[in-house]
């Protein structure tokens, strides 16, 4: 399989710094295996930036590991980095990563509320489940889905990289030529509906154009958070 990868990360229109991180940071075309990852850090005094960057570099460096191994390596690295300085106590990050294999397998590892999506035949499917308090309330029938977008605690995470013994979600799918995979931080999905994201992804042929069109859409909708997007096109 041939993978064409583009990524973009933007501070948005309100925040002072960009606490998101993404890998790779240069666009590339490869037959794989390749890791593509998005992380959205949190913590005061630049700790969020350190958390997301630490998670991504540890996940990418984790030898020939599978998705769960890589996410766990990221978790250990963030816990270690948090212990190095007092101001980093409690820092954490989301991490959503995909390993794209030469035979078309996509392995996904995931903690937090960044997301992975598959666009196949112009239909967009969310592959990951958000680890948020609001999503748990919906699952328990205590909150209507349409109330989620405005709930005051919609950003509260139930799982983050940086927690001891974090549970890692994983899944595997088989990609076919013509598929497009997107990873993103909540700066995109908090500002732009899935329907709009699907339209932009379906109507923008080149991955590099698609990632920046999505960042522009998030900023045009207010850009309240950092926005990070990775798009991977699959070809024979
Ligand atoms: Mg965010």
Asked if the model's pLDDT at residue 44 lies above 80, the reply is: no
* Radius of gyration of the chain from its Cα atoms, rounded to whole angstroms: 17
Q: How far is the CA of 42 from the centre of ligand 1 (A)?
A: 8
Q: Cβ distance 47 to 28 under 8 Å?
A: no
Q: How far is the CA of 189 from the centre of ligand 1 (A)?
A: 9
**Residue 13 burial (10 A CB sphere; 0-12, 13-18, 19+):** middle
Q: How far apart are CA 35 and CA 24, in angstroms?
A: 8
Q: How far is the CA of 173 from the centre of ligand 1 (A)?
A: 26
Q: How far is the CA of 102 from the centre of ligand 1 (A)?
A: 31
How many residues are there in the chain?
236
**Containing H/E element for 95?**
strand 95-100
Helices (H), strands (E): how many in the chain? 6, 12
Asked if the model's pLDDT at residue 45 lies above 80, the reply is: no
pLDDT (0 to 100) of residue 68: 97
Q: Average of pLDDT values for 49-65?
A: 95
Query: What region does 46 belong to: left with phi over 0, alpha with psi -120 to 50, or beta?
Result: left
Omega cis (within 30) before 29: no
Q: How far is the CA of 225 from the centre of ligand 1 (A)?
A: 6
Q: How far is the CA of 39 from the centre of ligand 1 (A)?
A: 9
Mean pLDDT of the chain: 96
Residues 6+ apart with CB under 8 A from 133: 153, 156, 157, 158
* Domain boundaries, given as residue ranges, for the chain: 2-235
Residues 6+ apart with CB under 8 A from 86: none
pLDDT-based confidence at 217, cuts 50/70/90?
very high
Q: How far is the CA of 40 from the centre of ligand 1 (A)?
A: 5
pLDDT-based confidence at 2, cuts 50/70/90?
very high
pLDDT (0 to 100) of residue 86: 86
Q: How far apart are CA 192 and CA 122, in angstroms?
A: 17
Asked if the model's pLDDT at residue 203 lies above 80, the reply is: yes
Q: How far is the CA of 41 from the centre of ligand 1 (A)?
A: 7
Q: Average of pLDDT values for 163-180?
A: 97
Record: fold of 2-235: Phosphatase 2c; domain 1 (3.60.40)
**Containing H/E element for 74?**
helix 67-84
Asked if the model's pLDDT at residue 201 lies above 80, the reply is: yes
DSSP alpha helices (H): ranges in 98-206? Answer: 133-139, 186-189, 194-203
Q: How far is the CA of 37 from the centre of ligand 1 (A)?
A: 14
pLDDT (0 to 100) of residue 65: 83
Tokens of 156: 């509260």
pLDDT (0 to 100) of residue 25: 94
% of the chain at pLDDT higher than 90: 89
């Amino acid at each position: 399989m041939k993978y064409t990868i583009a990524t973009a990360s933007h501070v948005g229109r309100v925040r002072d710094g960009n606490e998101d991180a993404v890998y790779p940071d240069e666009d590339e075309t490869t037959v794989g295996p390749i890791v593509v990852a998005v992380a959205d850090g949190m913590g005061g005094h630049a700790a969020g930036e350190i958390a997301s960057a630490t998670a991504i570099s540890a996940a990418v460096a984790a030898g020939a590991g599978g998705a769960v191994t890589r996410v766990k390596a990221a978790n250990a690295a963030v816990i270690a980095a948090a212990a190095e300085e007092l101001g980093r106590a409690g820092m954490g990050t989301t991490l959503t990563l995909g390993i794209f294999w030469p035979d078309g397998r996509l392995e996904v590892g995931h903690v937090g509320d960044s997301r992975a999506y598959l666009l196949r035949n112009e239909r967009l499917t969310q592959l990951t489940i958000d680890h948020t308090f609001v999503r748990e309330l919906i699952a328990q029938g205590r909150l209507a889905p349409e109330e989620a977008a405005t709930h005051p605690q919609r950003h509260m995470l139930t799982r983050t990289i940086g927690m001891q013994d974090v549970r890692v979600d994983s899944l595997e799918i088989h990609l076919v030529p013509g598929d497009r995979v997107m990873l993103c931080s909540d700066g995109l999905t908090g500002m732009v509906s899935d329907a709009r994201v699907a339209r932009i992804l379906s109507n923008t042929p080149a991955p590099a154009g698609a990632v920046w069109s999505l960042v522009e859409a998030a900023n045009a909708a207010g850009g309240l958070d950092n926005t990070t997007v990775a798009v991977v096109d699959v070809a024979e």
